[in-house]
Structure 1
Amino acid sequence: MPKKNKKIPLRKCIITQEMKPKQELIRVVKTKDGDVFVDPSGKKNGRGAYVSHDLSIVDQAESSQSIERHFQVKAIKEVYQDLRKVIQGEDLE
């Protein structure tokens, strides 16, 4: 019997609107308390949104304030800095 292919979970980047495998995206979370942060593990509680693993897309998101609009929050500079760290392979504190 042929082996069944595992279904790869797809998610949509909130900046480019592209559907991509979950591993190619970075999750950003907004908690019930209104905190917004980057979730490299992809498992934290809260409302999640996904951003492509690409510095130019993070720059585009920051200039258009896409994440702020998506989560309906005020300026969140640290989130963009953390996204860049994750893309560059640095650990978040």
Structure 2
Amino acid sequence: MKVRKIPQRMCNGCMEMKSKKELIRIVRSPEGIVSVDLTGKKPGRGAYICKSEECLEKAFKTKRLNRNLQTTIDEDIYASLKDEIKNG
């Protein structure tokens, strides 16, 4: 039986490598729309963040999400991410 490789991604808040399933994906579509990708399969440029408010605060304060997605992120996306972390 072959062991499957678990995909690893880096959190933009704490900068730690974690498995893809532990992280939330934020995606910028080819049209330039930024949204939360719960399935992890939406097309576009993605950035990952832990499911903790501290990591989200760090990534937002240092503008790492803006840099990785190559766009500016609005406050409403930030609020929806915060809600997703609290509820999820």
Give the structure with higher Rg (CA). 1
TM-score under structure 1 length normalisation: 0.80
Percent identity (aligned): 38
- Greater RCO between the two (CA within 8 Å, min separation 6)? 2
TM-score under structure 2 length normalisation: 0.84
Counterpart check, 1:28 vs 2:26: yes
| Alignment coverage as a number of residue pairs | 88
SS at match of 2:48: strand
Give the conservation status (yes or no) of the 8 Å contact 2:27–2:44: yes
Out of 67, 75, 87, the position equivalent to 2:85 is 87
Out of 12, 17, 20, the position equivalent to 1:19 is 17
Residue identity in the other structure for 1:86: E
Q: CA 1:25–1:34 in 2, change beyond 3 Å: closer, same or farther? A: same
Unaligned runs of 5+ in 2: none
Out of 26, 31, 36, the position equivalent to 1:38 is 36
Residue identity in the other structure for 1:61: A
Report the RMSD for the aligned CA atoms in angstroms.
1.7
